[in-house]
Chains A and B, each alone.
Chain A
């Protein structure tokens, strides 16, 4: 197999032009993935320090500056969400595979694509610059008055500017994806034949387009509220209402969690179908379940704020609406199971990640259904139970989805095969590690341990000990991830066009590995024999 495509006119620009002025969707996707890995290392380091600190009662590492613990917690959340998960699933895999899967030569607006990417490192630098001014420790939710009158100094202003940049990057990206998917599908590629990953990115892009401007508006208002003698949108002294910020924030924040998980749903659908050698069960149901999750995701936001003092009837509505989301999510889970049912299953590395994703996401989903109930949530609000819940759906759901996609498409993106033993070690260490970290946090939460504190009473010691032990396999797992990638690049085993064989039947597997610099110069034509 040739390492490069059979396109003789595959001209690549020089290094600087190729990577810095890049307008090629594959190169930009690669940049996004590298950026996400870098951010993941930073965000991972912050969580490593927090977990070390919480290993036993008392102050171990944040002596003399306990506020820094909250700064770490805040930055861990912001970096992992905006600079790791989103760039990986949307910017990385989305850029790489959405155009290929729908048979388009590139994204609709390649230059805007470049702009979207380069806004992100700029944004991250702004965020990290806040450390130089003492950092901001008000949590990723940024509730006023702690984020306004409670945090003077430029640190939080840097974070606002950084998040605005990241937000606009995502809005431009979303416009690009929607335009590409709606207008640039190959002949015969109807919406109802489109691969599920493209569907998931389409729904995600609409969520981004509608949710992020609301975040931008509330960040602008925070910014002007922070100016001395400025506005008072969230300041009760001036007739404002801090609770309004929470409404605005979660109107963005709840769709945001689906923004992170929907593309992972798409990836897992492809992997489950490929390694069961069966087309996905209930394709249309799967696509419209994602649409339903996206739509309902916009009307459930106040379940994050049951404790602000809300009328019982309003709570009842938000409980019911939140529980409804379990229905389309259940459709997806059962369709994955039904896809595997009677299939010829291979437990290759991506399939292991996909199965772990399904299992762990269900665990996180079930605790989510529990937390949706206002009566229970009033007791569990801001405890480690919530921390455990959202790490099960994000650091295991979204991140397992990312690794699943990475190991599924690694051969396609690089042209090389990874060593499946090394990758297997990565999987098992990571799987065991994150479960040891987060499963005990359910118990801590049920015992009433609140989140965002640097210290805790001795009653909570045992499970915190266990939780902190989990960082050893997790850390080693991450190490093996880098070893796996490094080994693959060192050994250069050619992957071939389709290393997964029968079952992998989306368009990217018809191209060489890595795909030619310009793919689909002549558009592929869809026939009626399936192909999703």
Chain B
């Protein structure tokens, strides 16, 4: 019977460990995405100190609004052509079409997914929550560059276009620091 008891403790431990791993998957998955760019997760940097090299990628801009947010949200340019390592500035226009102030926050990803880890943002409206008063219009900037490391591996040779996509969500409880921000902090 003692042997049985020992076995049970080991097996229960394994089950509990897997249960814990299930819950731990949340931070692990975020770390994994941030490190590998999985799911189109981009990088974030304080400044651009890379060398500009002579290879151009065309960056397209895309915008989405989550259901339940009465905003208009459009990129001001369809695309920009940037050299690898060159900082570029792009603008999105947002407008609050409702008659109440609304706080929104933007989520983002980059396709092709394998190119996402090389897409680096130095400034972005998506880093913080945005408040728009009723009827207010605003222009929101994103400053970014594509890391020249993209040129070093053969498997990234075919990355000629990239699409940066944003989705604005309504922040229901603006006073707290949103989870989206803590995700940004990880990047």
Contact = CB atoms under 8 A, between A and B. Distances in A.
Interface of A: 108-109, 171, 174-175, 178-179, 182-184, 209-218, 220-221, 229, 232-233, 236-241, 243-244, 247-248, 309-314
Q: How large is the interface on B (under 10, 10 to 19, 20 to 34, 35 or more residues)?
A: 35 or more
20 contacts: A108-B7, A171-B15, A175-B12, A209-B18, A210-B14, A210-B15, A212-B15, A213-B22, A214-B18, A215-B22, A217-B22, A217-B23, A233-B26, A237-B105, A237-B170, A237-B172, A239-B179, A240-B179, A309-B113, A311-B113
Nearest to A218: B22
Interface string B14-48: 11101111110110011001000011100000000
Contacts of B180: 237-239
Contacts of A108: 4, 7
Contacts of B16: 213
Contacts of B11: 174-175, 178-179, 209
B87 interface: no
Contact of A309 (B3, B29, B39, B172): B39
The 3 closest A-B pairs by CB, nearest first: A217-B22, A239-B179, A213-B18
B131 interface: no
Contact of A244 (B21, B29, B173): B29
B114 A311 contact: yes
Contacts of B23: 217, 220-221
A309 B172 CA distance: 29
B55 interface: no
B14 A236 contact: no
A447 B154 CA distance: 37
A179 B113 contact: no
Contacts of B114: 311-313
Given A236-B169, A241-B29, A244-B26, A210 B38 contact: no
Chain A, interface SS category: helix
B121 to A, nearest CB: 16
Contact of B7 (A183, A212, A233, A239): A183
Contacts of A243: 39
A238 B179 contact: yes
A310 B39 CA distance: 7
B24 to A, nearest CB: 9
Contact of B25 (A178, A211, A247): A247
A214 B21 contact: yes
B8 interface: yes
A313 to B, nearest CB: 7
B86 interface: no
Chain B, interface SS category: helix
B8 A232 contact: no
Given A213-B22, A247-B29, A183 B15 contact: no
B10 to A, nearest CB: 9
Given A108-B4, A244-B25, 16 more contacts: A175-B12, A209-B11, A209-B15, A210-B14, A210-B15, A213-B21, A214-B21, A215-B22, A216-B19, A218-B22, A236-B169, A237-B180, A238-B178, A239-B183, A247-B25, A311-B114
Interface in B83-98: none
Contacts of B173: 229
A239 B18 contact: no
Contacts of B4: 108-109, 179, 183-184
A310 B181 CA distance: 24
A294 to B, nearest CB: 14
Nearest to A239: B179
B2 to A, nearest CB: 10
Contacts of A236: 66, 107, 167, 169
Contacts of B155: 313
Nearest to A175: B11
Contacts of B15: 171, 175, 209-210, 212-213
A51 to B, nearest CB: 35
A213 B167 contact: no
A237 B170 CA distance: 7
B111 A309 contact: yes
Interface centre among A174, A211, A212, A238 (most CB of B within 10 A): A238
Contacts of B40: 309
A248 B22 contact: yes
A488 B2 CA distance: 44
Given A221-B23, A244-B29, A309-B39, A183 B111 contact: no
Given A236-B167, A309-B111, A217 B66 contact: no
B22 A183 contact: no
A314 B167 CA distance: 26
Contacts of B18: 209-211, 213-214, 217
Given A209-B14, A213-B18, A241-B39, A179 B7 contact: yes
A240 B18 CA distance: 21
A178 B4 CA distance: 10
Contacts of A314: 38
B159 to A, nearest CB: 12
A194 B21 CA distance: 33
Contact of B38 (A215, A240, A311): A311
A237 B169 contact: yes
B102 to A, nearest CB: 13
Contacts of B107: 236-237, 239
A313 B170 CA distance: 35
Contacts of A218: 22
